[in-house]
Structures are given as structure tokens and as C-alpha cells.
Amino acid sequence: MEDEEHEVYGGEIPDVGEMEVPDPDIDMSAGDDDAVKELDEMKRRLKEMEEEAAALREMQAKVEKDMGAAQDSASTETDQAVKEEVDARSVYVGNVDYACTPEEVQLHFQTCGTVNRVTILMDKFGQPKGFAYVEFVEVEAMQEALQLNETELHGRQLKVLPKRTNVPGMKQYRPGGFNPSIGYRFRRPFVPPYFYSPYGYG
């Protein structure tokens, strides 16, 4: 046991050279100023980039809006042109008997040309309104159909006119007439009441 080697503590400390102690006279704030300036510059660039991105988004939104408006107006014009083309070969048929079917109206007008569609308008309760629209395949058939004005169907004299195209946003002028739901109220002229003074005159 005594022959075993033991570690010796408290030996010589190896020489690592002199440690560099920072000189208190050196100005460390110079490096800090550079870092602050660089940070400010980065913030400024970031802000500029955000502003540019916002401006680009705004421009894109405006372009998309303009394109959408142009497409809407183009589609509206196309729809209007199609309506006008269909109306050019259609007639309005008034004074149609309520019991009349679209097939009977079609039979009445088939001598004029090929009937593409018959529309009998209904009210919100599903009852016929008493008039119809007849659409022909040929424009010439519409002119022929006008010759059937005042002809009879189901014992009623039909009123045949060219179909008018409704223009969106334009309301037809209807002069004010008698409305049975409102009625007329006759106004009497205002006559001020006579006041008699209890104290007499003078």
C-alpha cells in the first residue's frame, strides 16, 4: 500500500503568459455607434420596402378593379346586345285569355314562322297576367305576327305589338293617374276661425 504512487497537489503553475487587460482609455462607444447606425439603416430600408410593397398592392388592387369593371361593362353590353337581338324577333301579345296555354298561343302564331318560345307571364300567386311574349326563330316572322293584331283567340281580341327592349337602369315614365288604393282627397280651403274678444272692441 505504501509503495502506491500518490498525486502531488500544489505543483508549479504553468506559465500562460501575461493576460491582456482592457485599457480603460480605449473608447468602446465607437463600435456601438457603428452598430446603432447600421441598425437604423436596416430599419429605414425595411420601412422603404414595406412602403413599396403597400404601393404595389394598392396599384394591383386598382388594376384588378379596373379590369373587373371593364369586364362587367363588356358582359353587360354583350347581354344587352343579345336581348335586343331576341327582342327584334319577338312580339308582345296582350288580352290573352287566362285559360290560354302556351301551346294554344303557339298554334295561333305558327303560320307566321317558326315559334322558338312562348312565355305567358304569371303574377306572384302563379296566376296568368293576361299577356304573353312570342319569340320567333326568324326576324321576318315577327313582322308577319304583327298582321295578327286584333285576331281572336278563345273569343278575345289579341293585341299584338313589337316587343320593347328594357334598358337596365332606365325606368319608363308613367304619368300620375288615379290610384284606387290611394283615392282622391278633396282639400277644403283653410278658413281661419273668428275670435270674439270678451272685452269688446276699442
Condensed to tens digits (0 to 9), the pLDDT of residues 137-173 reads 998 998 999 999 999 998 899 999 998 876 655 554 4
The more confident residue out of 97 and 64 is: 97
Do both 61 and 122 map to the same domain?
no
DSSP strand E in 102-181: where?
Answer: 115-122, 128-136, 152-153, 156-157, 159-162
Nearest to 120 by CA among 143, 103, 139: 103
Share of the chain above pLDDT 90, in %: 32
Average pLDDT in the chain? 77
Angle CA(73)–CA(77)–CA(82) in degrees, nearest 5? 150
Q: What is the CATH number of the domain that holds 105?
A: 3.30.70.330
Do both 97 and 146 map to the same domain?
yes
Do both 140 and 104 map to the same domain?
yes
Do both 108 and 151 map to the same domain?
yes
Residue 29's pLDDT is what? 54
Do both 56 and 99 map to the same domain?
no
In a domain, 8, yes or no: no
The domain in which residue 63 lies consists of 36-68
Do both 50 and 111 map to the same domain?
no
Residue 173's pLDDT is what? 47
In a domain, 96, yes or no: yes
Domain count for the chain, please give it: 2
Residue 189's pLDDT is what? 57
pLDDT in tens, 63-96: 888 777 777 667 777 888 888 888 889 999 999 9
Name the residue with cell 302556351: 102
Do both 61 and 94 map to the same domain?
no
Query: How do beta strands 115-122 and 128-136 pair?
Result: antiparallel
Residue 113 grid coordinates: 314562322
Nearest to 117 by CA among 96, 142, 99, 97: 142
pLDDT in tens, 7-40: 555 556 555 555 555 555 555 555 577 888 888 8
| Local structure of residue 30 (DSSP, 8 states) | H
108: confidence class by pLDDT, cuts 50, 70, 90 = very high
Burial of 38 (0-12, 13-18, 19+ CB in 10 A): exposed
In a domain, 99, yes or no: yes
